[in-house]
Structure formats: C-alpha cells, structure tokens
Amino acid sequence: MRDTTSSCARSEAIETLSGAQLTAWQTDRLREVAIYAYREVPFYRQLWDRAGVEPGLLGSIEDFARFPTISKDDLVQAGNCWTNPHQGSVAFSTRGTSGAPLLVWLSAEEEEAYIRPTMRGFRWAGFQPGMTALLMSPVWHRLAACEAHAIARLGGRCAFFWGSMGTEYTDSFLHTLASERPEFITTTAPFLLSLVRRSPGDATRPHKLFKGVRSVVVVGLPLTPRMREFLRDRLQVEDVFERGGTQEGAATDECRWHTAPHVHEDVCYLEVVDDAGIHVAPGFRGRLIVTKLTTAGSIFVRYDTGDVAAFAPGECPCGCGFRRLKIYGRPESSVLVGDRLITAYDVRMCIEEDPALVGRNVLLVREANTRAGVLTVAVEGDAHDPAKLQARLREQLGVATADIVWLGDLRVNWGFRQVLDGREVRLPGS
C-alpha cells in the first residue's frame, strides 16, 4: 500500500501558509502549468502567441491576469488541438446546460492531486475513521470519483445506493440509508430537497432514517443559511456542509464555521473578474475564472465558467488561510431581467424570508417578457401569501414585476436545473 502520510502532511502545511507565501507558491505552479500547456497543447500555444504572452516570463499573479480567458465554446471548437498528451484515460461530461457538453479527461496523477483536498473537506465536515459514508455515484462527476478513494484512505466504509440523482431514485436512496445506517452522506441539494418534500402521504419519515447521520455534504446548489437550517431540522442531522466544484477543476469545501466554502488552493487558482476582466474585491460579485494547478488531465488555464461568484472578505475563524468563495449561480441558473442578472440563489434568499416557504424548490422561468423587466418564479407547493412575496421580490431584486407560479402537486424532476424555459412546459395557471 502506497504511503499517503507525506502527501497529507504537505496538504496540511499549505493551509497555514501566509497570504504572500501562498501567492508565491501558486505563482510557481501557474508558471509550470502555463509552460507545460504552451509546450504540449496546441490550443494554448496558438492562443497565447496571438495574445503576445509568454509563459516563461510569468512571475506574478498580475502577469497571469494578462493571459486571455477562454470559454467552453473555445474548447469545443478547438477539438483535438486542446488535447493534452497526458490527459488520462477516463472522461466525464459537463452538464451541457449552457450549450454543448464538454468531455473532460481525468488521469491517475490528477486524481491523486484531487483526492487530498477531498480528504481535507471530508475531515472539515466531521468524517472520522470507521464511519460509513453513503456516497454519490462515482461516474456522476470527476470530483465524485475522488470521494470513495478519499473515504477509503480516511479509514471509512463506502456505501452506494442504486440509481442516479433524479427524484425517481429517492426510494432507492432511503432503502440504502435504512439498511447501511451511514454516519456521513454526500449528495446533491436538489435530491435532498426532493427527498424531504416527498408527498405527505408517504409512510416513510426521512428524519427517522437519517438517525445516526452526523454530516451531510451537498453539491449542486449554493446553500442559503435558511436552507441549511431547514435541512438540519428536517433531517435531524448534526450539520450540513456545502461542497463545490466544477468539472473544469474548481474545488471548494466548507469548514464547520460555514462562513463560505474554502477554495482548495493547492489544486486550483480561482479568480473573480468583472465584465472588463478586472479582478473584483472580496465581497463583490463577478465571473468565476478557473485554472487547474496540475499538468495532468484536461488542461484549463483561465477558463471563464460564466458562474456568478464572490470571495468572502476577511478571515475565517477556523484559521485556514485558504480564501473563501461563494458560487451564487451558473449561467443556466440565472435569468436576465431587464438589465439585472438574477440568480436562483437571490430569489431563494428572498422567498425564504417567509419561514413557511423555506425548503421549497424554486425555478426561475425564462420567458420573452424578462426583457421587459418581468421576473417569473415557479415555487413548489401551494400558494402562501403571494402578494407579500411579489412585493418582496420586486423590492429586493429591483425588478419591475414579479409573477409567481405555484406548482401545487406538480411533480418535477428537479435535477440541477434552476431555470426553465417558459416554452418547455405548461405551468399551472399559465
């Protein structure tokens, strides 16, 4: 068995570097990755030659910010020119909810790099040796593939339920939960919400099955503070943690202080920029740019995810020096209303001010009249104080009109979608 002690020690040491030390360390990694990408990947060589930037001269974060950003379309168009000779033998798909899906490759070397932060995140979330973890499907996402490896190295047992993350598999999930009695769970937030909000007629009471669960780690939806409380209360688990990540290499995990997920700075360098491409200060929102700090797998250098994100200002009480980043929404989980970009997270924050509406799934509806400043929101369940909610949405989100569609008993397979095209379905009352 390979000794993983030294690599764990390294990852622990990096958490305590000062800001300047961490920046210097990351700058070295960025230069290594850029030099490698220039040498081995024609797409980057051509792009950077055109832009007049030289990887060998990269000596600071400011130098790196002069490298051009790239988009998913650029990579899909690049085809084989984007191939890394050492990209590995296993591929995962991006979700394709914002255009064509992209195949992202994973190698053993890259996975090894990402298992370390996965173990770190799970430790932060309270995982202890000997525990049983009920995990997501390893083929769902490249970060999910790291999870079982991390649990095995932390001395735990891995359990898997049959099926996938759609609402049709909640029974299967509950069956495994009842039979294996895990102390630790990783899943998606939409799946968990669907499970909590199963039909009231169902005999199974989820919180009874969650008895003994210490921690639930969720991905796929930025948690609002009230949503976290709702899940903790309904499931009667000790704590709920948000884990974030993209197929393109971003990796974040919350510590027990829940101030915002920490960026695993040893595997990715994340930036938040404004529309002009300038870094924005912590506390302000911008677009998330991802660079992986490894030369293995598919290479992402200054990849513009289109995600709306912000670094958290100040320091976390936990003492970890890693920056904290909240990803508020993806392009596919936001709508442009008039000239304002509204994320599903913003709408949920607003809706959840009414305790009766906390925990309901919410969908934004993209319709032709969004240009005229009309925000349309579909809310799971029966109507509750609609006039007040409409007023709150108008006032807090700065939209001219807010329409609410109450979905009643309509069963929706929530998946990861938070925005619905108005032409896709006939909503109740429409």
Partner 1 sequence: MPTENAYLLFDLPGGRLAFGEGDLDIWAEHLTWCYRMMGIPDGATIAVQDFGSSPISFLGSSLLMPGLQRGVAERIGGRFICLDASAERVTLTPALLSQLTVDALVIREDVIELLSAELRKREFAALARRTMKTIVVFGDEPPAFNAARPDSWRHLMHVESTLLLAPQCVKCDCFHLRQGVYEVDGRIVRNLRLAAPAYDLPRGELFPPSHCAAGIGDWCIGWSPRGRGI
In the complex, the residues that contact partner 1 under the rule CB under 8 A are: 1-2, 4, 76, 79, 88-93, 95-96, 100-103, 106-108, 111-112, 132, 136-140, 144-145, 148-149, 151-153, 157-166, 172, 175-176, 179-180, 413, 415-416
* Residue number with CB closer to partner 1 (136 or 358): 136
Min dist. Cβ of residue 127 to partner 1 (A): 15
Residue 2 or 426: the one with the smaller Cβ distance to partner 1 is 2
164/224 with CB nearer partner 1: 164
Residue that is written with structure tokens 């200060």 in the block: 281
Q: What is the nearest approach in angstroms of partner 1 to the Cβ of residue 297?
A: 10
Tokens standing for 64?
């790196």
Q: Are 316 and 298 in contact (CB under 8 A)?
A: no
Indicate the residue among 162 and 284 with the shorter CB distance to partner 1: 162
Q: Which is nearer to partner 1, 153 or 226 (CB)?
A: 153
Query: CA 312 → CA 163, 272, 284, 285, 315, distances in Å?
Result: 36, 11, 8, 10, 8
User: In the complex, what is the shortest distance from the CB of residue 103 to partner 1, in angstroms, rounded to a whole number?
Assistant: 6
CB 404 to partner 1: min, Å: 26
SS (H, E, C) the chain: CCCCHHHHHHHHHHHCCCHHHHHHHHHHHHHHHHHHHHHHCHHHHHHHHHHCCCHHHCCCHHHHCCCCCECHHHHHHHHHHHCCCCCCCEEEECCCCCCCCCEEEECHHHHHHHHHHHHHHHHHCCCCCCCEEEECCCCCCHHHHHHHHHHHHCCCEEEECCCCCCHHHHHHHHHHHHHHCCCEEEEEHHHHHHHHCCCCCCCCCHHHHCCCCCEEEEECCCCCHHHHHHHHHHHCCCEEEEEEECCCCCEEECCCCCCCCEECCCCEEEEEECCCCCECCCCCCEEEEEEECCCCCCCCCCEEEEEEEEECCCCCCCCCCCCEEEEEECHHHEEEECCEEEEHHHHHHHHCCCHHHCCCCEEEEECHHHHHCEEEEEECECCCCHHHHHHHHHHHHCCCEEEEEECECCCCCCCCCCEEECCCCCCCCC
Smaller CB distance to partner 1: residue 18 or 89? 89
Which residue number, 40 or 180, has a Cβ lying nearer to partner 1?
Answer: 180
Taking the complex as a whole, the smallest distance from the CB of residue 63 to partner 1 amounts, in Å, to 33
Nearer to partner 1, 27 or 247 (CB): 247
Q: How far apart are CA 30 and CA 201, in angstroms?
A: 55
Residue number, 67 or 161, with CB nearest to partner 1: 161
What's the min distance (Å) between Cβ of 422 and partner 1?
Answer: 19
Whose Cβ is closer to partner 1: residue 151's or residue 263's? Answer: 151
Tell the smallest beta-carbon distance from residue 170 to partner 1 (Å): 13
What is the rounded distance in angstroms from the CA atom of residue 273 to the CA atom of residue 287? 5
Residue 417 CB, shortest distance to partner 1, in Å, is 8
In angstroms, give the least distance from the CB of 176 to partner 1: 4
What's the closest the beta carbon of residue 169 comes to partner 1, in angstroms?
8
